[in-house]
Structure 1
Amino acid sequence: MGWAKLLCSRQFDPETTTRALQTIERNARLQTQLIGDLLDVSRILRGKLSLEVLPVNLVSPIEAAIETMRLAAESKSIHLETTIEPNVRWVMGDPGRLQQVVWNLLSNAIKFTPEEGRIEIRLDTVGNQARIQVKDTGKGINPEFLPYIFEYFRQADSSMTRTQGGLGLGLAIVHHLVELHGGTVSAESPGEGQGATFTVLLPFQKRDSRPDEPEDTEAESSCTAPSTLDLQGLRIVLVDDELDTREFLSFLLRQHNAEVQSFEAADSAFTAFAEWPADILISDIGMPQEDGYSLLRRIRKLPTDQGGTVPAIALTAYAREEDRQKALDAGFQSHLAKPVNSTELLNTILHLTRNQS
């Protein structure tokens, strides 16, 4: 927030501006991670965390997690060593959640490994199970704490002078996600200062089926080169009652050559359809006076030439699996959770318009 305030009040040289923006993004990602962990724990405790299960080649989520954490490792001069046994059979699971498992284990290892340390990520086979191991040369685990390492809000050092942040949720979430996949996770350490090894075992799928295309689970990396996706000629109606979100999305879409009309209320957006037929509707769900579901029901009653069959994207903070299903049942073709991944949004728009044509 300090850097944001400075950027609003004065001009800096490009190097300082870049450093400020990187700091803002890094901390926003940390905040998003903490909130995401808290939401996951809430879902777990209520028994509401579900998986979207399909055949998964574990190489994909492992490589995506490594790529996401590579910069963090490089900033501490930590050497990442990957060993992947060829022809490891596929498992049945949720690609995104499996990436989250590896990401959490790798993030934990980087956090507790000193500079110029080493982390080994291994994928191989043990009996009829796939084994993922993350082994580090970090500070290790006290034998007295080892039995509690996968409990919620538990940290080996919970003092006010501890050197590491976090809420003590990452490993607890890993434990629950692995169990949901029918697997097990364990931790070993010779003792403090001697590193640690986390081992995940996942059962192989019973049928040797393959999806037509591998899941793309790679997360949007920090400060990447601008996307080259082109929305030239597409007319987009955007509805969101939050000004900051509306302005950012309008700017993003126009940067990729789309024509955009944005509205803060559902009623105004509905009126626009008769005069300005759009190729895509992007709508928030929770809005004052009239929500996104009601707006889409009204639009679906219009003739086709007035936008009645327009592809619609629900872009909302209501991010539970039941919320996604409710949006699809209401007639939205896609459901994207806030905070929006810009590349995912652009790809979704192009996918829907191609299918429409």
Structure 2
Amino acid sequence: MLSRRLNSLKAYKTETTKARIRLSSNELPYDLPEDLKTLILNELKETQLNRYPDPNSEELREVIGDFFGVSSENILLGNGSDELIYYLSIAVGDFSQGVYVPVPTFPMYEISADMLGRPKVCVQLDENFDINLEKSLELIANKSVVLAYYSYPNNPTGNLFSKEKIHRIREEGVFTVVDEAYYSYSGESFKDEALKREDTVVLRTLSKIGLAGLRVGILIGKESVVSELNKLRLPFNVTSPSQIIAKVVLSSGRDFIEESVKKVTSERERVLKELKGIKGVEVFPSRANFILFRTPFNAKAVHKGLVERDVLIRDMSYLPGLDRCLRVSIGKPEENDIFLEALEKVLVSLN
């Protein structure tokens, strides 16, 4: 018989609306070049898909370690960061102890806590989308919080939380998870702390730098912490094709990744400037590969108007503090131009 706890849960929903211009999921807009695809195909031809993958992803961890500048012993891989978030929600403290999440943020932190029936301490961000430290410390003390998740830069607001505030909360004996999914676009990291401390880990992903289809999540931490967390890892959790493709791209495709990230970062600044020039649009600073903005109109109406013009972005107005807000991923220059033109037309029509 299914648990009654399931009645209170909701399945995670992704944006599946059809549109020619898709700027809703914070993916890299550039596909792999043909020569890189040829290398991948040659490697895949030699793969025995009737055999299980390397259970420990030894070669891939070596390649990822070289890519991010850490030892393979400091790395735990997951089927996307979502799997690693779930492991951490299981591993840290007792299920009766609280999980701290500054909101609005990436929903999987709360979803993982809910699946395990763990109490949540969700504290609304301040007017600058930074951590409300005073309120956070008050609730953490009262709710027996032992685990905290930080999206850094934060999705969907795009900003970096104050490091000092994160440190201060950690001083309360709170295990700290810093999700650096958008590290390539910010350059800011807690990696050095994670390699030295028993109470801090960093999450990274390949999904935002061109390999969203592989579902490879990365946890970086002290060797002793990684070793303990590895006890929870499901067997063969990273498939053979994912291991092979990731190894090829991170070895032979580094120039492609670096150039693509530079293009997206440059486009981010251009789109920020263009959005600021549209009357009535409030734009928030971003260190990620997306931009959050607010219009004077109902976000659902704006979203609908864009879809009617074959442009898909994400309506974020359902989240606390994000009334009339939408989030647009940075695409190719021509895609961004189509979005900007469509947005102006939608706003004019709503006015």
Q: Which of 1 and 2 has greater Rg?
A: 1
TM-score (normalised: structure 1): 0.32
- Larger RCO, structure (CA 8 Å, separation 6 or more): 2
